[in-house]
Amino acid sequence: MPTNTNHLKDLNDNFWKEWVFYYLLDFYKNHSKLELQTIIKEEQTRKHPRPEREITKYIRKYLRDNIKFSLRGFKVFGEVTNDEDVEGNYDITLIHSYWENEFYFECKNLSLDSKKSHIDKYVYTKIYPKNKPPKMDGGVYRYFNGKYAQNQNFGGLLGFVLADDIKSIKDRIIQKLDNQFDTSPNGDLRQIINKSILANDFTFDSIHSRFNKDFTLHHLLFELNKN
């Protein structure tokens, strides 16, 4: 990474995104699988398990503990509240002091279990909040209903594969992305770029229409159900 301050200020989004991908892939390759799987299994014994929240907290801690990540000027926030015990809007936000944009990631569990509706929740589905009227929601959908990254042309999703075959899950997600949202034409799928991050099979980009321009979502699917 350049050390000249003026040069850093002139670097574009693609440069900074590549560094973010580098650190996320470093986590995926080098984290303690046994430790994380133990955390997931313990969470799944609860009455109302939220494994995606525990995994997300684990990733944030992993990044914060990475000395090179910090020394290079990157920071990771625990949702918009910056409080690990209070939920906010974004699951993970990655920033750098010389980057004018922020990289937001929505995090979701993934499996093929239709009862858990993981793929629907990752993309777009109707939800039924307690004591509130039903509404549409979903990880991808939040980038097109006015909630996420309104002043940027990109965002991210992390999918945590907890069961079943990752290729089948990826195919199902891409298939569902082709369905129009109630925000159409905002959110309409324009293109899928497979293996978009360093040619890894578990990554792809989906390019959508938003405000008559291209909006890119970077997807990373982490297979956490295998040693």
User: DSSP 3-state assignment of 61?
Assistant: helix
User: Does the structure show a pLDDT above 60 at 38?
Assistant: yes
5, with CB counted inside 10 A (0-12, 13-18, 19+), is exposed
Q: For residue 204, what are its two tokens?
A: 């792809």
Mean pLDDT (whole number) for 5-29: 92
Decide which of 86 and 119 is more confident.
119
Do 212 and 158 contact (CB within 8 A), yes or no? no
User: DSSP 3-state assignment of 171?
Assistant: helix
Mean pLDDT (whole number) for 23-38: 97
Mean pLDDT (whole number) for 163-180: 97
User: Does the structure show a pLDDT above 60 at 166?
Assistant: yes
Band (pLDDT 50/70/90 cuts) for residue 114 is confident
Strand order in 103-110's β-sheet?
Answer: 74-78, 92-96, 103-110, 154-161, 213-223, 203-210, 189-194
